[in-house]
Chains A and B, each alone.
Chain A
Amino acid sequence: RAAMNNIQQLTMILNSAADKPSETLIKYFNNCTVNPTDSILKRVENLEHIFKKKFAEAVGQGCAEIGSQRYKLGVRLYYRVMESMLKSEEERLSVQNFSQLLNDNIFHTSLLACALEVVMATYGRNASQSDGASAETDLSFPWILNVFDLKAFDFYKVIESFIKAEPSLTREMIKHLERCEHRIMESLAWQSGSPLFELIKQSKERESQSDQPEPTAT
Chain B
Amino acid sequence: VQDYHFGLEEGEGISELFDCD
Q: Which residues of A contact B (CB under 8 A)?
A: 85, 88-89, 92-93, 98, 100-101, 104, 106-107, 157-158, 160-161, 163-164, 167, 171, 174-175, 178
Asked if A101 contacts B18 (CB within 8 A), the reply is yes
> CB distance A101 to B14 under 8 Å?
yes
Closest approach, in angstroms, between the C-beta of A153 and any C-beta of chain B? 11
Interface residues of B in 1-21 (CB under 8 A from A): 1, 3-8, 11, 13-15, 17-21
Point out the residue from A92, A104, A171 that lies within 8 Å of B18, measured CB to CB: A104
The smallest C-beta distance from A125 to any residue of chain B, in angstroms, reads 18
Q: Are B11 and A107 in contact (CB under 8 A)?
A: no
Chain B contact residues, CB within 8 Å of chain A: 1, 3-8, 11, 13-15, 17-21
Give CA–CA (A171, B4) in the complex, Å. Answer: 9
Interfacial chain A residues near B4, Cβ < 8 Å: 163, 174, 178
Label chain B's interface by main secondary structure: loop
**What is the distance, in angstroms, from A135's C-beta to the closest C-beta of chain B?**
30
Sample of 16 A–B contacts (CB below 8 Å): A89-B14, A93-B15, A98-B15, A98-B20, A100-B20, A101-B20, A107-B14, A157-B17, A158-B17, A160-B8, A161-B13, A161-B14, A164-B6, A171-B1, A174-B4, A175-B3
Kindly state the separation between the CA atoms of A88 and B20 in the bound complex, as whole angstroms.
15
Q: Is the interface of A mostly helix, strand, loop or mixed?
A: helix
Taking the nearest CB of chain B, how far is it from the CB of A42, in angstroms? 20
A202 to chain B, nearest CB (A): 11
Contact A160 B18 (CB under 8 A): no
| Distance from B14 Cβ to chain A, minimum over Cβ atoms (Å) | 4
Question: For the complex, what is the distance from the CA of A70 to the CA of B18, rounded to whole Å?
Answer: 27
Give A174 to B4 CA distance when docked, in angstroms. Answer: 7
Instruction: Check B1–A174 contact: CB distance below 8 A.
Output: yes
The residue of chain B having its C-beta at the shortest distance from the C-beta of A177 within the complex is B4
Interface centre among B5, B6, B7, B18 (most CB of A within 10 A): B18
The answer for the CA separation of A85 and B13 in the assembled complex, in Å, is 9
Q: A100-B20, A157-B18 are in contact. List 4 more A-B contacts (CB 8 A).
A: A89-B14, A161-B17, A171-B1, A174-B4
